[in-house]
């Protein structure tokens, strides 16, 4: 299996300058390659392959001598990233690759090989840069693949190392109704489980929004391009980074807990992009970040041989009584509790939805009848 290990690195001033040189050179090659692909398609109706572009980089170095100071494989990594971007575009039919800017909040470059990791001395050696002080808080074993160096908007540097641990993907565990949990994500409660457990929504953005608004107003009043504006932007970036770290920490802990306690998890497929069009709920939905939570559940399920079951977005999980199957067509979003007219059962809207999500998912697996 492939796993990525991310570490904080602490470059010297000279190494930091070398990082910026790599960032700029890889960005230049990416934009040059994208321009060549677009022109080739417009003129000849054909696309230039990555291998042709890599051959053309040699001539490009003669025109721009400063490219020779950068790791050649990092430059070729830029063309690989472009090819992956086009593959994603043709597969999903959206998100045509765009030109990169030095103003992008996150800058990065890849190192495919010839780097070294020294766990004993907490150092990483990169080609043409040398040994860099690194916080190697976790050890890994396996075949080292591509390493990616990145810089955050707050000026922190990280290296992410992709490792093949040479282990086969675990076989999916058998599951039944007893070891399956239904999960209904929401805004008031981040997640409600079919066992009636409710996970409170921490709402990290909402708790920091007042301070964030103050800092953003201060930044808007600073002159563009000035040092004071850069300082104000840095303060805003720190708030966003803290919110992101808090959200990721919460979701990692919750997803690990759910994966560890159950053999299968049933989820509802949500149209998040469509829900974001509701301007009254858009900020709260973004703060919850359901998509990243589901992504964490899915790849951790692969790691540990668990199963993630999905039901369609149009399944009426909230409006059906989980006891008798009565369909309450008059239920609105404001109704948090309701009583079934047929069996007189009082329902908590979210718990009822979680139970139904589990039932619908297991019914599709022919493990339970409704």
Residue 10: partners with Cβ closer than 8 Å, 6 or more residues away: 132, 133, 134, 135, 157
> Annotated catalytic residue: which of 14, 200, 249, 350?
350
Q: Please confirm, yes or no, whether 268 is among the known catalytic residues.
A: yes
Which pLDDT value is given to residue 234? 93
Angstrom distances, CA of residue 323 to CA of 105, 331, 346, 350: 51, 17, 10, 15
What pLDDT, on the 0 to 100 scale, is given for residue 45?
A: 83
Catalytic-role residue among 116, 144, 268, 298: 268
Task: Say which of 184, 189, 241, 339 is annotated catalytic.
Answer: 184
At residue 43, the pLDDT reads 87
d(CA 308, CA 229): 46
Q: Give the dihedral sign, CA 10/14/17/21.
A: negative
What values do phi and psi take at 77, rounded to 5?
A: -65, -30
Per-residue pLDDT tens digits for 21-80? 999 999 999 999 999 999 998 888 888 899 999 999 999 999 999 999 999 999 999 999
Quote the pTM value.
0.87
Instruction: State yes or no: is 118 an active-site residue.
Output: no
Give the three-state DSSP class for 365.
Answer: coil
Is residue 25 a contact partner of residue 75, using CB atoms and an 8 Å limit?
yes
Print burial letters for 60-72: b (CB count within 10 Å at least 16), e (below 16): ebeeeeebeebbe
pLDDT score for 370: 44
Please indicate whether residue 164 is annotated as part of the active site: no
Q: Which residues of the chain have pLDDT under 70?
A: 366-370
């Amino acid at each position: 299996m492939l796993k990525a290990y991310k570490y904080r690195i602490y470059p010297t001033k000279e190494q930091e300058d070398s990082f910026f040189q790599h960032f700029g050179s890889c960005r230049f090659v990416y934009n040059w390659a994208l321009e060549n692909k677009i022109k080739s398609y417009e003129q000849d109706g054909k696309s230039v392959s990555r291998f042709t572009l890599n051959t053309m980089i040699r001539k490009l170095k003669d025109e721009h001598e400063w490219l020779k100071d950068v790791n050649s494989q990092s430059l070729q990594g830029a063309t690989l990233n472009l090819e992956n971007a086009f593959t994603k575009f043709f597969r999903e039919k959206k998100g045509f690759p765009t030109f990169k800017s030095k103003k992008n909040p996150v800058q990065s470059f890849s190192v495919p090989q010839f780097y070294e990791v020294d766990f004993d001395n907490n150092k990483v050696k990169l080609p043409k840069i040398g040994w860099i002080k690194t916080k190697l808080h976790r050890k890994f074993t396996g075949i080292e693949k591509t390493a990616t160096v990145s810089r955050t908007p707050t000026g922190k540097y990280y290296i992410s190392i992709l490792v093949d641990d040479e282990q086969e993907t675990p076989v999916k565990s058998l599951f039944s109704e007893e070891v399956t949990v239904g999960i209904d994500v929401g805004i008031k409660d981040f997640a409600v489980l079919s066992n009636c457990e409710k996970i409170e929504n921490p709402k990290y953005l909402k708790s920091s929004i007042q301070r964030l608004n103050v800092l953003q107003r201060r930044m808007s009043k600073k002159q563009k391009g000035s040092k004071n504006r850069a300082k104000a932007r840095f303060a805003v970036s720190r708030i966003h980074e803290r919110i992101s770290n808090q959200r990721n920490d919460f979701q990692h802990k919750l997803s690990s807990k759910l994966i560890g306690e159950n053999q299968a998890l049933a989820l509802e497929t949500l149209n998040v992009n469509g829900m974001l069009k509701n301007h009254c709920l858009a900020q709260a939905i973004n703060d919850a970040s359901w998509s990243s939570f589901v992504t964490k559940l899915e790849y951790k399920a692969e790691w540990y041989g668990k199963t993630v079951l999905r039901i369609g977005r149009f399944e009426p999980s909230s409006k059906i009584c989980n006891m008798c199957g009565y369909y309450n067509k008059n239920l609105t979003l404001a109704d948090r509790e309701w009583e079934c007219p047929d069996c007189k059962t009082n329902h908590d809207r979210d718990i009822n939805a979680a139970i139904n999500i589990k039932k619908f998912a297991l019914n599709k697996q022919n493990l339970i009848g409704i």
